[in-house]
């Protein structure tokens, strides 16, 4: 499991490096540019979360077909590629045209609406045009993860991230022959880097011999497989959509504060994402290990693997939480270097936010492992339920009550984040112990042992 997980952690680290790189260079531009990313990303995630559920379905099916030795992993992979390609094109077109209406509906503070919302729109429009490339790489990573090869995606991701980090300052600030595009430069760099990753990934997947063997006929859509991908993918898509809609709701509440608070909220979320990397990688490895073991008829081994992952990630996240609590200001300051009037205030708010959430890092990590186990078992509806519990039943109402009813101001924002993940983790662990998830969705073709 850990052999499978470390490349996934590296992939997550490289994935966040896209966002961290953008944040670092835009932090050198202005706090308003950082605030624009804070508004843009929840909306982007809302628009692309539909396709994300179907890529997860492909990984689940590949893992269980591989564990069961069904011989249909190449066909499942081909069907996932063709279906997701069509979905991503539709999402790109829709996303481009709904960007301005979505941003216009945010109940933003007057200063935030004037300074940050237009920058967020500039970033979002360009990013949405590149959504097919974003999904192309997502499909590659998901299918290879389900197959059990996580090192090839890691290498491709490394190439893409290095390219993005090199292009960011050139396009944001206009170095040499490159135009000065500001926040749009960050979007162009990300989309171009994703396009390179997609081309490399599809080349390896379709002709590199490093994953499931996919023939040309496997790419022709077949209704029965599309139906299966949809059946498993819709709950995960709903889970991600519900999560992203909750983040949009939370962002809308935060947007009622001045630009420095919006920027600090975005910085804090980026740093939380960075701390969450080990948990996300181990959660995805748990997804694959549980899927393969259930496919091979080893439910007890799947359960043991999940508990090992939960204990391991609790220790890692406890260490990360202690570091965040002890040194919040130096950590936040790395990403806010602009020589502007609001930079110091942004750092102060961001440091307070980071110190608050450090206490829930352990719960956040365990929750990711439990959700991975549910998804690997094909119980994507269960994962959906606990995402709803975490965000909609706990965090969103707590934010509204503490910020507006109790008048806690920014303290209410930070406290509600902690409440959400603590409640979600406790509920997920309690449900996992019931053992009702131990049923494969693919029948064994022949006895197998998951590695």
- Tens of pLDDT along the chain (451 residues) come to 677 667 777 777 777 777 778 888 888 888 888 888 888 888 888 777 777 777 777 777 776 666 666 566 678 788 888 888 888 899 899 989 999 998 888 888 888 888 899 999 999 999 999 999 988 888 888 788 777 777 888 888 889 989 999 999 999 999 889 999 999 999 999 899 999 999 998 888 887 667 677 777 878 888 887 887 788 777 777 777 777 788 889 988 998 898 899 889 988 888 888 888 788 888 888 888 888 888 788 888 889 999 999 999 999 999 999 999 999 999 999 888 877 778 889 999 999 999 999 989 999 999 999 998 988 887 777 877 888 888 899 999 999 999 999 999 999 999 999 999 999 999 999 999 988 887 655 554 443 444 4
Q: Looking at the domain assignment, is residue 445 inside a domain?
A: no
- Whether 437 is in a domain gets the answer no
- Is residue 282 within 8 A of residue 9, CB to CB? The reply is yes
Domain annotation covers residue 443: no
What predicted TM-score, i.e. pTM, was given to this entire model? 0.70
Q: What is the pLDDT of residue 273?
A: 80
CA distances from 255 to 100, 225, 335, 414, 417 (A): 16, 43, 20, 14, 16
Residue 138 placed within a domain: yes
| Cα 356 to Cα 333: distance, rounded to the nearest angstrom | 17
Q: Which DSSP letter does residue 208 get? A: S
240: domain range? 2-432
**Would 450 be classed as within a structural domain?**
no
Instruction: Assess if residue 195 is contained within a domain.
Output: yes
* Residue-level pLDDT at 54: 75
Which of 419, 413, 420 shows the shortest CA–CA distance to 353?
A: 413
Residues sharing a CB contact under 8 Å with residue 279, sequence separation 6 or more, in sequence order: 313, 316, 317, 364, 365, 366, 367, 368, 369
- Length of the chain measured in residues: 451
The pLDDT of residue 87: 85
pLDDT of residue 446: 43
Give pLDDT, residue 451. Answer: 41
346, 271 Cβ separation under 8 angstroms: no
Structurally, the chain folds into a number of domains equal to: 1
Residue 446 counted as domain residue: no
- Cβ partners under 8 Å of residue 46, min gap 6: 241, 244, 245, 247, 248
Check the CA dihedral 377-382-387-390 and report its sign. Answer: negative
Note whether residue 339 is domain-resident.
Answer: yes
């Amino acid at each position: 499991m850990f052999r499978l997980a470390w490349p996934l952690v590296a992939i997550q680290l490289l994935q966040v490096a896209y966002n961290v790189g953008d944040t670092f260079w835009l932090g050198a531009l202005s706090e308003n540019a950082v605030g624009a990313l804070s508004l843009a990303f929840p909306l982007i995630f809302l628009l692309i979360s539909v396709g994300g559920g179907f890529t997860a379905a492909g990984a689940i099916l590949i893992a269980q077909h591989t564990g069961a030795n069904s011989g249909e992993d190449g066909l499942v992979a081909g069907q996932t590629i063709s279906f997701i390609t069509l979905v991503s094109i539709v999402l790109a077109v829709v996303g481009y045209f709904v960007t301005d209406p979505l941003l216009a509906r945010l109940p933003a503070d007057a200063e935030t609406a004037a300074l940050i919302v237009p920058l967020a729109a500039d970033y979002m429009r360009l990013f949405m045009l590149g959504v097919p490339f974003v999904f192309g790489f997502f499909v590659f990573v998901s299918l290879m993860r389900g197959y059990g090869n996580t090192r090839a995606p890691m290498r491709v991701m490394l190439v893409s991230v290095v390219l993005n980090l090199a292009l960011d300052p050139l396009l944001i600030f206009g170095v040499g022959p490159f135009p000065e595009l500001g926040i749009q430069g960050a979007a162009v760099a990300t989309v171009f880097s994703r396009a390179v990753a997609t081309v490399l990934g599809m080349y390896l997947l379709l002709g590199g011999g490093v994953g499931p063997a996919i023939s040309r006929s496997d790419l022709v859509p077949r209704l029965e497989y599309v139906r299966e991908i949809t059946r498993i993918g819709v709950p995960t898509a709903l889970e991600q959509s519900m999560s992203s809609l909750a983040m949009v709701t939370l962002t809308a509440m935060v947007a009622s504060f001045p630009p420095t608070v919006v920027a600090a909220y975005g910085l804090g979320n980026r740093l939380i994402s960075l701390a969450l990397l080990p948990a996300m990688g181990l959660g995805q490895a748990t997804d694959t290990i549980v899927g393969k073991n259930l496919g091979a008829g080893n439910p007890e081994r799947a359960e043991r693997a999940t508990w090992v992952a939960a204990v391991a990630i609790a220790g890692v996240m406890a260490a990360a939480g202690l570091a965040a609590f002890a040194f919040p200001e130096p950590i936040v300051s790395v990403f806010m270097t602009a020589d502007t009037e609001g930079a110091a205030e942004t750092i102060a708010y961001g440091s307070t936010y980071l110190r608050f959430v450090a206490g829930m890092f352990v719960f956040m990590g365990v929750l990711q492992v439990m959700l991975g186990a549910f998804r690997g078992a094909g119980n994507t509806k269960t994962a959906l339920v606990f995402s709803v519990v975490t965000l909609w039943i706990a965090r969103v109402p707590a934010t509204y009550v503490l910020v507006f009813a109790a008048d806690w101001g920014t303290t209410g924002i930070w406290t509600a984040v902690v409440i959400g993940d603590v409640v979600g983790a406790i509920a997920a662990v309690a449900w996992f112990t019931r053992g009702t998830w131990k049923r494969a969705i693919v029948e064994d073709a022949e006895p197998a042992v998951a590695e």
